[in-house]
Structure 1
Amino acid sequence: MNLSNFGMDSVTLAGPLEAKLRASKASGFSQLMLWAKDLAAHPGGLDEAVRVVRASGVRVTGIQVMRDYEGLGGALHDYKLDIAKQMLMVCKAVGAPLLMVCSSTSSHASGDLAHIARDLAKLATLALPLGVKVGYEALSWGRHVNQYQQSWEAVDRAGHANLGVVLDSFHMLANQATFEELDDIPAHKIALVQLSDYMWRELRSAEERLETARHLRVFPGEGMHAKELSDMLRRLERNGYRGDFSFEVFNDDYLQFTPEVVARRAHRSAKWVTDQVLRRSLTVLQATAGHPVMA
């Protein structure tokens, strides 16, 4: 685990696309998670936005976000599938290897796991020839899938090589998830790990959960869940995850500062994350020093 594994999320940074890319790169990050609206809202249009991203030398972690996709039927399913196809084309254009899909909040969506898995597999198949992987994330307020274990169950049931699960520390902490079942998820089936924290120990209402999620997250190392995050990170490291980590930090305060200031905070957080894993590894090595491994 090193800095090349980490990237910011453009939603955390103020300013135009060019400024976000420049600040991210200047702080030592080689990748950035983009939202489709970053590209669509560019004054020069989509083609110019793609040119700007490719010229920056910054790798695109993935594209956010396909919402309320799975579990629908009839005209609603057809509509969302068409939107998903357009999102995949955006991924291809900008060289994004991952399309993020959040668990549905729609009252029109079925909670049938077979239906959900079938829809995810269909999207993964469509993405395959474009060189894009699909990652499925459990929103903590998802209507039917709101725990990471459920998102993994859907991915596992879909059984598609081009489909993985996205783990998001905020949603896991918000639901007071336990991390033991992370051990059941093969490392190669984790498409991405999103990291953030928040400033209080518990979320006392659905309204507070949404307010915190959308406006008041902080970087790992700044919040109140250092112990839980350390446990999560060490489990992932021990289980062999060597993929990307993205700091998905929705924070209105950070949007009042220049992208460079916020990117430096993210860099400190990346160091905090790596220190949590390294410190544990050193402790294990010290405890076993002088005791040779028996063949």
Structure 2
Amino acid sequence: MSSLPGPRFLNTVLLGGSTTEKLDAAAAAGFAQVELWREDVASSSVAEVHAILARTGLQLTDVQVLLDFDGASAATREGKRAEAMSLLALAKDLGAGTVLVPACTATVYVPDRVTDDLRWLCARAAERGLRIAYEGMAWSRLHSTLPSAWQQIEQVGAPNLDIVIDAFHLFAAGRTADDLRDVPVERIALVQLSDVLTQPLPGQVTTQARHHRCLPGDGLWPLETLIDALAAMGYSGPIGLEVFNDALKARDPRDVAREAMAALEAVLAD
């Protein structure tokens, strides 16, 4: 049995098909939760998603994603705040507790505004009983590593701002599980696992991230080092899969979801 007892989730980006087909496949495979994209709701409706969740018993790990919000330029800042309010409202309507927000990747951004922007976002989220899960991505402008993203969270100082641990962004950047050392376990919002067949080369990271990840255990990354570090910390929160893979997405979502659960349980049991 895995030493990580938290609920297993599946990011719907792995699956093809309609929103109903994706959620039914995830539930049938044994996942307790899903990470839901707003596009999943746009192609369905809040009422339909509510009905599917009630029927299947699935919970929402988070709703995503608010891109390039922190440090938005003067030309985009008001638009990004409006987008944020819309996504927070959607999360509230869906009954989700968390909204996922990656660190800014925009070419034009204002570093001095990042902290203020995140404080504003966390305040708006708190008014709605929501948490913000902040993710440093390998190609983020300011915060491309876990230590950097955690330092930003500390600077913001909002109790509802937590960190995302994503294996892809950790290992693609050539980092190790030692990056978790200074992160309090209670401030980890969720853990996303994936793998790769080949180490991403400079200039190819985003393409590999968005099209060619593979299921945990099918690739070359030392996921066991991350899992062992989380277990040593006593992590008991959500852990699951965020796998962007064009070939898997083109297949029957029921088969892919079953394979995904088998891969997740296998890597957690090793």
TM-score when scaled to structure 1? Answer: 0.86
User: How many residues end up aligned between the 2 structures?
Assistant: 268
Shift of the alpha carbon at 1:4? 5.5
Query: Does 2:222 correspond to 1:220?
Result: no
Alignment of 1:152-231 (within 5 A): 152-200=150-198, 202-206=199-203, 208-225=204-221, 228-231=222-225
The residue type paired with residue 93 of structure 1 is D
Query: Does 2:228 correspond to 1:234?
Result: yes
| More divergent stretch after superposition (3-12 vs 56-65) | 3-12
Identity of aligned residues (%): 31
**Corresponding residue SS for 2:150:** helix
Contact 1:170 1:197 (C-alpha < 8 Å) held by counterparts: yes
Contact 2:19 2:43 (C-alpha < 8 Å) held by counterparts: no
**Corresponding residue SS for 1:72:** coil
- Using a 3 Å threshold, how does the CA distance of structure 1 residues 2 and 230 change in structure 2: closer, same or farther? closer
Query: What corresponds to 2:246 in structure 1?
Result: 252
| More divergent stretch after superposition (120-129 vs 63-72) | 120-129
Shift of the alpha carbon at 1:6? 1.0
Contact 1:137 1:166 (C-alpha < 8 Å) held by counterparts: yes
RMSD: 1.6
Question: How many Å separate the matches in 2 of 1:46 and 1:268?
Answer: 30
Contact 1:4 1:30 (C-alpha < 8 Å) held by counterparts: no
Runs of 4+ in 1 over 6 A off after TM superposition: none
Q: Deviations over 1:207-256 (max 9, x none)?
A: x212211111111111111xx21111111111122110130000011112
**Corresponding residue SS for 1:253:** helix
Unaligned runs of 5+ in 2: none
Q: Deviations over 1:109-158 (max 9, x none)?
A: 1234xx32222122111111322110110111112221121111111111
Q: Deviations over 1:84-125 (max 9, x none)?
A: 01001111111111100011111221234xx32222122111
Alignment of 1:22-41 (within 5 A): 22-41=24-43
**Corresponding residue SS for 2:246:** coil
Structure label with greater radius of gyration: 1
Shift of the alpha carbon at 1:274? 2.2
The residue type paired with residue 215 of structure 1 is H
Query: What corresponds to 1:65 in structure 2?
Result: 65
TM-score when scaled to structure 2? Answer: 0.94
Unaligned runs of 5+ in 1: 277-295
Query: What corresponds to 1:79 in structure 2?
Result: 79
Q: Deviations over 1:17-63 (max 9, x none)?
A: 11111111111111111101100122xx3433333334432111111
Query: What corresponds to 2:94 in structure 1?
Result: 94
Q: Deviations over 1:155-178 (max 9, x none)?
A: 111111100011110011110012
Higher relative contact order (CA 8 A, sep 6+): 2
**Corresponding residue SS for 2:141:** coil
